[in-house]
């Protein structure tokens, strides 16, 4: 029987996102050339919310992007049936921008590795930052997040589920562990 | 997300379900964007080797497959029947087995005999993609036609599409009929009685004997190429006669109750089945078809490569290496 622990409820997610939005502005030293890119799927919704918070706070309009890393996965030759590919949409002028990659959960780091490779095919950002709602440890590559909502220790059999109201009807972060 | 499996080979649309066809078309969407990038390449098929085995002349389809393969980072080799051991009388299976012994992963085959792709697919481990077999099927052409229709109308279900011309010899027509009817498109065929296959109505299509009827009925015309060698075989009296009776001209289209989308799989005989002012007109999507061809083929190759692993394991267990 899997046990479900609530890590963040809707309010806690909202507070975490507000803090993360401020940190993004701080780390990128303003909003000039700032581009938030969500990783499909739930990173896209989170990037959208962070961008909205920054826009509200700074009175600016921010460009958004979405990135699907499926075609850049390092396990594509071994995963079995080809996974569904979602849309990638980035502005044409990536060169010189500060790009913030937004994802829901950081785990092995392989998704971020794929994302970095994909960015290199689109252009040469001045700087890339990594922003995740949950860092659950367990890295298999030398990758770390710059901005984190919640850090939590998990085991290899655990799962961290991020629910967003746009897709799941509610906001929650849950730790699902096999007992 | 679980996606419907396609099986090891893409042989035709007759054997696919509506869900599978839909999945190929949906997968083509993100691949369209890859060709618009500055670096038109993704690493999905890195390390895969694909042989394009063309026993019939082809420019468009072969180049389109080759671009699709290269934009997925696969390594490709083109084998044409002329100038290879094929012209020395080697049979299809021997050719393919020799290629397979060089550790290839996929074969894209065009062949003059109906059923050649399936014949090959049953005998080699590599994925096989049918790029046109005799009068049987040309599935990627039909898929790109469907993608182009869907782009324009935003849907397929309920559309009326007329396939015009030489239905009898056309694998494009057959694949289109299978694919379109499965996705809820109403299909009509229009052409000279001598180029209409017997029992075509059994495929669930309407036969319209006059091009004027097709133009009055349809939302889109898919105008098939008239193969000029058909004239020599006596199927039609003359090219001029064909144009006079069945040619899609601006004058004929002007009498239609609405604007018709114009598709043509190419290469065109301007002034025969289609007039230049129609081919180059505002409702022609002949060039978007070509662009979509690459996206559809990328989708097919990407989806099939995901099927290879299980199948390779099963095949070796069954001792597929032994000759039958």
Q: What are the pLDDT digits (tens) for B62-73?
A: 999 999 999 999
Nearest by CB to A76, which of B1, B5, B44? Answer: B44
B7 lies in some domain: no
**CB distance B38–A123 less than 8 Å?**
yes
B10 lies in some domain: no
Tokens coding A175:
């730790």
Number of residues that this document lists for chain B: 324
**CB distance A77–B42 less than 8 Å?**
no
Give the span between the Cα atoms of B245 and B268, in whole angstroms: 17
**CB distance A121–B1 less than 8 Å?**
no
Claim to verify: residue B41 and residue B134 sit in the same structural domain: yes
Return the pLDDT at B323: 34
Return the pLDDT at B31: 97
Q: Is the pLDDT of residue B319 over 60?
A: no
Q: Which residues of B touch A89 (CB under 8 A)?
A: 33
Tokens coding A44:
């896209």
Claim to verify: residue B133 and residue B269 sit in the same structural domain: no
Return the pLDDT at B85: 64
Nearest CA distance, B312 vs chain A (angstrom): 12
**CB distance B30–A72 less than 8 Å?**
no
Claim to verify: residue B154 and residue B272 sit in the same structural domain: yes
Tokens coding A151:
């850090």
**CB distance A83–B306 less than 8 Å?**
yes
B1 lies in some domain: no
Claim to verify: residue B241 and residue B274 sit in the same structural domain: yes
Q: For residue A90, what is the nearest residue in chain B, using CA coordinates?
A: B37
- What is chain A's mean pLDDT, rounded? 95
Strand bridging mode B75-80 / A64-67: unpaired
Report the domain count for chain B. Answer: 2
Whether B89 has its CB under 8 Å from any CB of chain A: the answer is: no
Whether B27 has its CB under 8 Å from any CB of chain A: the answer is: yes
Question: What percentage of chain B carries pLDDT values higher than 90?
Answer: 80
Claim to verify: residue B158 and residue B299 sit in the same structural domain: no
Claim to verify: residue B108 and residue B212 sit in the same structural domain: no
B301 lies in some domain: yes
**CB distance B306–A68 less than 8 Å?**
no
**CB distance B31–A72 less than 8 Å?**
no
Claim to verify: residue B105 and residue B180 sit in the same structural domain: no
Helix (H, G, I), strand (E, B) or coil at A102: strand
Q: Is the pLDDT of residue B268 over 70?
A: yes
**CB distance B27–A85 less than 8 Å?**
yes
Radius of gyration for chain B, computed over Cα atoms and rounded to the nearest angstrom: 20
When pLDDT is cut at 50, 70 and 90, the band that residue A126 belongs to is very high
To which H or E segment does residue B158 belong?
A: none
Give the span between the Cα atoms of B202 and B234, in whole angstroms: 26
To which H or E segment does residue B66 belong?
A: helix B60-71
Whether B40 has its CB under 8 Å from any CB of chain A: the answer is: no
Q: Is the pLDDT of residue B5 over 90?
A: no
Residues forming beta bridges with residue B78, ordered by sequence position? B52
When pLDDT is cut at 50, 70 and 90, the band that residue B324 belongs to is very low
When pLDDT is cut at 50, 70 and 90, the band that residue B89 belongs to is low
Whether B303 has its CB under 8 Å from any CB of chain A: the answer is: yes
Q: Which residues of B touch A74 (CB under 8 A)?
A: none
**CB distance B1–A85 less than 8 Å?**
no
Q: For residue B23, what is the nearest residue in chain A, using CA coordinates?
A: A84
Q: Is the pLDDT of residue B310 over 50?
A: no
Question: What percentage of chain A carries pLDDT values higher than 70?
Answer: 99
Return the pLDDT at B320: 38
Q: Is the pLDDT of residue B290 over 60?
A: yes
Task: Tell me which residue of B59, B49, B50, B44 sits closest to B107, measured CA to CA.
Answer: B50
Give the span between the Cα atoms of B68 and A122, in whole angstroms: 19
Q: Which residues of A touch B2 (CB under 8 A)?
A: 81
How much is the average pLDDT of A132-147?
97
Claim to verify: residue B30 and residue B169 sit in the same structural domain: no
**CB distance B30–A87 less than 8 Å?**
yes
Q: For residue B42, what is the nearest residue in chain A, using CA coordinates?
A: A71
Whether A82 has its CB under 8 Å from any CB of chain B: the answer is: yes
Return the pLDDT at A36: 98
Q: How far is CA B103 from CA A73, A88, B51, B125, in A?
A: 23, 33, 11, 10
Return the pLDDT at B317: 38
Return the pLDDT at B162: 98
B303 lies in some domain: yes
B26-35: b or e for each residue (b if 16 or more CB lie within 10 Å)?
A: ebbbbbbebb
CATH code (residue A55)? 3.40.50.2020
Which pTM was predicted?
A: 0.92
Give the span between the Cα atoms of B230 and B273, in whole angstroms: 13
Report B:56-85 residues touching A (Cβ under 8 A).
72
Claim to verify: residue B183 and residue B244 sit in the same structural domain: yes
CATH code (residue B36)? 3.40.50.1370
How much is the average pLDDT of A29-53?
96
Nearest by CB to B3, which of A68, A76, A81? Answer: A81
When pLDDT is cut at 50, 70 and 90, the band that residue B318 belongs to is very low
How much is the average pLDDT of B83-87?
63
Claim to verify: residue B53 and residue B134 sit in the same structural domain: yes
Whether B319 has its CB under 8 Å from any CB of chain A: the answer is: no
When pLDDT is cut at 50, 70 and 90, the band that residue B53 belongs to is very high
**CB distance A121–B38 less than 8 Å?**
yes
**CB distance A84–B31 less than 8 Å?**
no
Nearest CA distance, B3 vs chain A (angstrom): 7
When pLDDT is cut at 50, 70 and 90, the band that residue B308 belongs to is low
Claim to verify: residue B97 and residue B213 sit in the same structural domain: no
B93-125, pLDDT tens digit by residue? 888 888 889 999 999 999 999 999 999 999 999
The CB-based long-range contact list for A30-33 (8 Å cut-off, 24+ gap) reads A31/A58, A31/A60, A31/A62, A33/A96, A33/A97, A33/A98, A33/A126
Evaluate the CA torsion angle B207, B208, B210, B214 in order and state its sign. negative
Return the pLDDT at B312: 45
A53-103, pLDDT tens digit by residue? 999 999 999 999 999 999 999 988 788 889 999 999 999 889 999 999 999
Return the pLDDT at B311: 44
B227 lies in some domain: yes
Q: Is the pLDDT of residue A179 over 70?
A: no
Q: How many CB pairs under 8 A join A and B?
A: 58
Return the pLDDT at A1: 65
Instruction: Please give the span between the terminal C-alpha atoms of chain B, in angstroms, as a whole number.
Output: 39
Give the span between the Cα atoms of B268 and B266, in whole angstroms: 5
Claim to verify: residue B128 and residue B217 sit in the same structural domain: no
What ipTM does the predicted assembly reach?
A: 0.89
**Domain carrying residue B258:** 139-289
**CB distance B44–A71 less than 8 Å?**
yes
Report the domain count for chain A. Answer: 1
- What is chain B's mean pLDDT, rounded? 91
Return the pLDDT at B87: 61
Of residues B83 and A151, more confidence is placed in A151
Report A:89-128 residues touching B (Cβ under 8 A).
89, 117, 121-123
How much is the average pLDDT of A40-58?
96
Q: Which residues of A touch B305 (CB under 8 A)?
A: 82
Q: Is the pLDDT of residue A22 over 70?
A: yes
Whether A88 has its CB under 8 Å from any CB of chain B: the answer is: yes
When pLDDT is cut at 50, 70 and 90, the band that residue B222 belongs to is very high
Contact B169, B224 (CB under 8 A): no
Q: Among A15-24, B3-12, B212-221, B254-263, whose mean pLDDT is lowest?
A: B3-12
At a CB cut-off of 8 Å and minimum separation 6, what does B177 contact? B163, B187, B189, B203, B204, B205
How much is the average pLDDT of B3-9?
88
Nearest CA distance, A117 vs chain B (angstrom): 10
C-alpha B321: how far from chain center: 30
């Amino acid at each position: 029987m899997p046990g479900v622990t609530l890590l963040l409820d809707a309010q806690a997610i909202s507070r975490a996102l507000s803090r993360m939005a401020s940190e993004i502005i701080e780390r990128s030293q303003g909003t000039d050339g700032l581009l938030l890119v969500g990783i499909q799927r739930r990173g896209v919704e989170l990037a959208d919310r962070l961008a909205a918070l920054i826009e509200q706070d700074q009175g600016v309009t921010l460009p958004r992007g979405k990135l699907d890393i499926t075609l850049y996965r390092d396990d594509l030759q071994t995963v079995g049936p080809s996974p569904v590919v979602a849309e990638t949409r980035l502005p044409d002028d990536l060169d010189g921008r500060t790009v913030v990659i937004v994802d829901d959960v950081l785990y092995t780091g392989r998704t971020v590795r794929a994302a970095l490779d994909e960015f290199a095919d689109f252009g040469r950002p001045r700087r890339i930052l990594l922003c995740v709602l949950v860092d659950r440890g367990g890295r298999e590559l030398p990758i770390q997040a710059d901005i984190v909502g919640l850090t939590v220790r998990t085991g290899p059999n655990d799962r961290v589920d991020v629910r967003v109201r746009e897709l799941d009807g509610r906001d929650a972060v849950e730790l699902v562990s096999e007992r | 997300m679980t996606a419907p499996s396609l099986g090891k080979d893409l042989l035709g649309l007759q054997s696919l379900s509506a869900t599978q066809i839909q999945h190929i078309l949906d997968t083509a969407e993100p691949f369209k964007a890859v060709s618009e990038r500055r670096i038109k390449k993704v690493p999905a098929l890195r390390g895969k080797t694909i042989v394009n085995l063309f026993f019939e002349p082809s420019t468009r389809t072969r180049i389109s497959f080759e671009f699709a393969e290269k934009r997925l980072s696969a390594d490709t080799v083109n084998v044409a029947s002329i100038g290879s051991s094929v012209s020395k009388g080697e049979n299809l299976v021997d050719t393919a087995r020799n290629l397979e012994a060089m550790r290839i992963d996929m074969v894209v085959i065009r062949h003059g005999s109906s059923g050649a792709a399936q014949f090959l697919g049953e005998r080699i481990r590599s994925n096989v993609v049918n790029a046109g077999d005799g009068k049987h099927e040309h599935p990627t052409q039909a898929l790109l036609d469907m993608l182009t229709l869907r782009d324009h109308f935003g849907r397929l279900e309920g559309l009326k599409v007329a396939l015009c011309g030489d239905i009898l010899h056309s694998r494009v027509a057959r694949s289109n009929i299978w694919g379109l009817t499965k996705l809820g498109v109403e299909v009509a065929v229009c052409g000279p009685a001598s180029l209409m296959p017997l029992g075509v109505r059994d495929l669930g299509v309407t036969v319209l004997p006059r091009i004027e009827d097709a133009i009055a009925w349809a939302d889109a015309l898919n105008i098939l190429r008239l193969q000029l060698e058909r004239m020599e075989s006596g199927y039609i009296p003359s090219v001029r006669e064909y144009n006079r009776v069945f040619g899609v001209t601006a004058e004929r289209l002007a009498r239609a109750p609405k604007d018709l989308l114009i598709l043509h799989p190419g290469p065109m005989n301007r002034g025969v089945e289609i007039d230049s002012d129609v081919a180059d007109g505002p409702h022609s999507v002949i060039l978007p078809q070509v662009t979509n061809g690459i996206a559809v083929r990328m989708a097919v190759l990407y989806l099939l490569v995901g099927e290879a692993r299980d199948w390779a394991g099963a095949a070796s267990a069954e001792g597929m290496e032994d000759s039958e």
